[in-house]
A = this chain, B = another copy of it.
Amino acid sequence: MFRALADPTRRAILDRLRRREHGVGALCEPFAMTQPAISQHLRVLSEAGLVRSRRQGRERIYSISPRPLRQAFDWLAHFESFWTDRLDALGDHLDDDP
């Protein structure tokens, strides 16, 4: 799933979808890339559970599906004390979830 977030195009797509949902055509527009390439990225995002889609006429509308993003967020939150503590440099981080 972090793998799906590893690609900058896919992160840009998510940033775009964060603002509002979009059809594929609209998602393609800002990228210097063919439509199949975007569809493939959407597939990766979809398989990672990061987006969902529904049909609407002949368009397919994609939107954010937040659950895995939240998992990633929660994982990173484990490291929060590293930038919160001023004790940072002391290597003072022992088990916070035993």
Q: Interface on A for B, CB 8 Å cutoff? A: 2-3, 5-6, 11, 14-15, 18-21, 63-64, 66-67, 69-70, 72-73, 75-80, 82-83, 88, 91, 93-95
Contacts and interface: CB of A to CB of B under 8 A. Distances in A.
Of A15, A19, A66, chain B has the most CB atoms within 10 Å of the CB of A66
A80 B67 CA distance: 10
A70 B93 contact: no
| Chain multiplicity (copies) | 2
B78 A76 contact: no
B76 A20 contact: no
21 contacts: A2-B2, A2-B5, A2-B6, A3-B6, A5-B5, A11-B75, A14-B79, A18-B78, A18-B79, A18-B82, A18-B93, A19-B93, A19-B94, A19-B95, A21-B91, A64-B93, A66-B79, A66-B88, A72-B76, A73-B76, A73-B79
